[in-house]
Structure 1
């Protein structure tokens, strides 16, 4: 769309934000949706006898019983997160990984076959997968060669059916943080939702956008317990947004989307923030050492700056190096076919021993 024709969707003549609340964004069927009312929604107090949810009253064939349905709103976990993040419970959504939050945003705000979203490749692949599942058109505006937003290209791609813009920062697979001022430009000048995915924010020098929730009503911030918190196997993702957006997401989600075991283990983990902070510090130290070690190899052409727990390495022979490492039992990620990532391997920062094994093994690569 030509830029002069597009300005009505990007900002008004006075430069004020065109975002006017969720009324024009929300799907009509979601506005009318009456959510499923579970037994634990209807009664949330304490009792000695629960005969309301058709559960197995005898327990579970496990050491710990999981015969009762979990809290559908995960209030205790949200209390712990609220204290850590400085965000009220009413502004927190918990899902079965961040992927569930992404899917719910599509299902809540994008009309299949009508609306579109803007993605900025190279970026996290689930934005595209969820769009395809929900029959939502994708408008790709690639990052610049230095992996930053192309604001002019985004402005030209927006039309009246553009509902969301996804920005991953620190970005996956490039590892860099997106310029904060550029994200703020989107938030201030786009009438739809700006979804900032901060899965790797714990490793970044940038501060989280959750501090801006009160300033931008169209901001959704995604985070996860999978990375720095080491709970990838539990599948606990977070979304932070206005109370209005969180209410919509809670209405659309399945009633018991985060299981009891994940809630209990997440609570235990959230009580050990000192351990997590120590791991983050060690990860950053090991990341720097890994970068220095990889620079010595002739087949390494470039190592891009990273604010994450991985590095993107440009090589002369990505497929050959990948296959060589596989033969030695070492698995990295071949990203050489991803847009703007030709020749690149993505290498996660491991333990000191794992990083040493990688570097020593690469010395034998011919």
Structure 2
């Protein structure tokens, strides 16, 4: 049975969070003289002289309507990377605890573990890029606090078998974090629907991919109320700035536009796969539930450098475990994809 108090760091249990001026006062006032702001405004068309809502309630309320999750189960971070870091700082004791990652996977799980001095246990995916449950079980001990699972996975593009993730959730006493940065492009159901079933589940999503807001840096974590309370306790007081909150809220009114773009991206993905298969140096293209494809080639380094010389940037994954010889290619506009194919046709 999952018990948050058994995995929460003792210093975090006893932490008195920073209390901002906006935490201490709720509602509206006519005069604000509490936070040492510049009362004259900002040298911009829009005033940003007041501190933003520290808990981003308006954005969470709109997300709640879209996702079907109460605002109290939503955490907003400066990108998903902030949520990743806060989970380490909340639940993992430096130099004592360990976490499990399943490479190839998103690189920030490892970077953040190293920054926080947390032992990283690597359990590679199987040959078909699925979870190796027996190997994961063999690496778990009483100091294992987190298991990181990216699904759809970056850089391979595939979704993990749902029943395998459920097996971990049901049998692991720490947190299972399911990173769904690319879930909008997948036919798989989000694990958000399972929050009431598993107290140890954390789901990460982002506005950087399908929502086209990478420059705003707004990431989301969905979890039980007690986990979200811990994350809010640890985060900086104003971690999402006012401009990002306002722009994110405006973007979240345009669900139909996003759904149209998703359909177009998936159509372009299928077209690009067919065109790449006709190139002699393409050995394999792995199935994708994301807005990118992993392409195994005869010479990843050579092709990558050739594309750079022609002003086209893809991601060289040749040195990544189980991705030798592979390039990760994001699906672009029809014009960008056409330029990529025409350029590759001339590669020798």
Q: Is 2:283 the partner of 1:295?
A: no
From 126, 143, 150, give the equivalent of 2:132: 150
Number of the residue aligned with 1:12? none
Q: Equivalent residue of 2:125, what SS? A: coil
For 1:314, the equivalent position in structure 2 comes to 296
Cα distance in 2 between the residues matched to 1:122 and 1:205: 22
With the length of structure 1 as denominator, give the TM-score of the two structures.
0.95
Match of 1:117? 99
Whether 1:106 aligns to 2:88 is: yes
The counterpart of 2:331, out of the listed 325, 346, 349, is 349
Tell me which of 336, 342, 348 is aligned to 1:360: 342
Distance between the aligned counterparts of 1:354 and 1:120, measured in 2? 32
The answer to whether residue 211 in structure 2 is matched with residue 229 in structure 1 is yes
Shift in Å, 1:44? 2.3
Q: 2:239 aligns with which of 257, 260, 263?
A: 257
Equivalent-residue separation in structure 2 for 1:226 and 1:44 (angstroms): 31
Is 1:56 matched up with 2:38?
yes
Moved more, 38-47 or 297-306: 38-47
> Which segment drifts farther, 40-49 or 312-321?
40-49
CA distance in 1, matches of 2:48, 2:155: 38
SS at match of 2:41: coil
Rounded Cα–Cα distance in structure 1 between residues aligned with 2:154 and 2:20: 37
Secondary structure of the residue that 2:284 maps to in structure 1? strand
- 1:208 match: 190
1:14 counterpart residue number = none
Unmatched runs of 5 consecutive residues or more in structure 2: none
Question: Between Structure 1 and Structure 2, how many residues are aligned?
Answer: 348
**SS in structure 1 of the partner of residue 94 of structure 2:** coil
- Deviation of 1:85 after TM superposition, in Å, equals 0.1
1:135 pairs with 2:140: no
Q: Distance in 2 between matches of 1:102 and 1:325?
A: 33
- Partners of 1:172 and 1:23 in 2: how far apart? 32
- CA offsets per residue over residues 149-189 of structure 1, 9 Å max, x none? 00000000000000000000000000000000000000000
Once residues 202 and 32 of structure 1 are traced to their aligned partners in structure 2, the CA distance between those partners, rounded to angstroms, is 38
Q: Aligned partners of 1:103, 1:139: CA distance in 2, in Å?
A: 17
Q: Which residue of 2 aligns with 1:39?
A: 21
Residues in 2 aligned to 1:289 and 1:112: alpha-carbon distance in whole angstroms? 47
Indicate the RMSD between aligned Cα atoms, in angstroms.
Answer: 0.4
CA–CA separation in structure 2 for the residues paired with 1:184 and 1:210: 13
Report the counterpart of residue 146 of structure 2 in structure 1: 164
What residue in structure 1 maps to residue 259 of structure 2? 277
Look up the match of 1:323: 305
Could you list the runs of 5+ residues in structure 1 that have no partner in the other structure? 1-17
Query: What is aligned with 1:286?
Result: 268
